[in-house]
Amino acid sequence: MSLLTIVVEWEKKAFKILKDGFGGEVFRASEAVRLLGKEFGFRRGTTYRVLKDLADSGLLVRVGFGAYMVGVSGGWVITPSLTPDMENARRLLLDRGVEFMITGPSVLVKYMHMLPRRMIHLIYALKGGGEHVADVLEGEFDVLLNPVLGEVDVALKISDRDLVVVREFSSLYGGRDGVASIERALVDLYFESTRGRIPFPSDEAGRIILTALRNARINFSRLNKSAARRGVDGEFRALIRASGIEAPARMKCDVKVNRHVEAVLAALVRGI
């Protein structure tokens, strides 16, 4: 058996372990180092080389700095997935019986060109339940309840931990098991970014939104309803029409172009 054949066989075994261990979730290189070290005795450098080779072959998708997920033949994985930290947060909140929904950037990491070193996570809770969410998560994250933009900026300057922004609403819709649908997450990212509620650049939001619209299996009826509830359905239809995305005809009429739409469409000019 040649050396090349031996390497290929080990990479196949490593891929199976990664796939069984992480499924469709995003995982960090450091987590792969621990897993493959435990299973095969791989050293750190060996694991990094395996990750690179698997990403180059398309078996893994590199979704950010030191972050990967298992690839899917024929396109992106379409089920919303969370970073490992937010998946742990989701399980904690479910165990406590809290009514909540993780949404926005936290659900869309697979569509980011680069995963930031610090994340701003969005969690929506029912009115009166936000403080409970904050209490559960404050040991793991910096948490702000119903903040204004200035408070978010200050929190980002004084700490190196990921930030969770909790907002309270009278009702929650468009989610399941504590995670928003892709359609709801796209709308919430757009709204929070363009309305200046979180410091997330509009053009980066545009890149994420357009990548998801082009690569995920979008339910346009659900997308339109989610956008309408936040008063941005005309703006989303303008994005779809301007980007040439295949969509039902009803999603390309009654458009609304304003400064928010123009800021997001700057992503198109940059050649997404």
- 193-207 tens-digit pLDDT: 999 999 988 888 888
Where does residue 166 rank: exposed (0-12), middle (13-18), buried (19+ CB within 10 A)? buried
Annotation: CATH topology of 84-269: Beta Polymerase; domain 2 (3.30.460)
* Partners of 145 in beta bridges: 166
The pLDDT confidence band at residue 118, using thresholds 50, 70 and 90, is confident
Cβ atoms of 138 and 63 closer than 8 Å: no
Look up tokens 């339910």; give the residue.
219
pLDDT at residue 4 tops 50: no
Half-sphere exposure of 187 (CA within 13 A, CB side): 27
What's residue 102's pLDDT?
96
What's residue 236's pLDDT?
93
Q: What is the pTM of this model?
A: 0.70
pLDDT at residue 101 tops 80: yes
What's residue 34's pLDDT?
92
Q: Mean pLDDT across the chain, nearest whole number?
A: 83
> How many C-beta neighbours within 10 Å does residue 242 have?
17
Task: List the Cα angle 165/232/180 in 5-degree steps.
Answer: 45
pLDDT at residue 6 tops 50: no
* Lowest model confidence (mean pLDDT) among 20-34, 70-84, 98-112, 187-201: 70-84
Look up tokens 């703006």; give the residue.
235
* Partners of 164 in beta bridges: 121, 143
What's residue 64's pLDDT?
62
CATH class held by domain 3-70: mainly alpha
Q: Over pLDDT 70: what percentage of the chain?
A: 88
What's residue 146's pLDDT?
94
What's residue 65's pLDDT?
63
Residue-wise pLDDT tens digits, 61-83:
776 667 788 865 433 333 467 88
What's residue 73's pLDDT?
41
CA 251/CA 261 separation, integer angstroms = 15
Q: Looking at per-residue confidence, does 257 or 56 come out higher? A: 257
Q: Looking at per-residue confidence, does 139 or 124 come out higher? A: 124
What's residue 159's pLDDT?
82
Residue-wise pLDDT tens digits, 206-219:
888 888 888 787 88
Could you state, in order of their start, the residue ranges of all structural domains in the chain?
Answer: 3-70, 84-269
> Which amino acid is located at 120 in the chain?
I
Residues 17-34: what's their mean pLDDT?
85
Same fold, 3-70 and 84-269: no
pLDDT at residue 144 tops 90: yes
What's residue 267's pLDDT?
60
What's residue 265's pLDDT?
81
HEC readout, 99-142: CEEEEHHHHCHHHCCCCCCCCEEEEEEECCCHHHHHHHHCCCCE
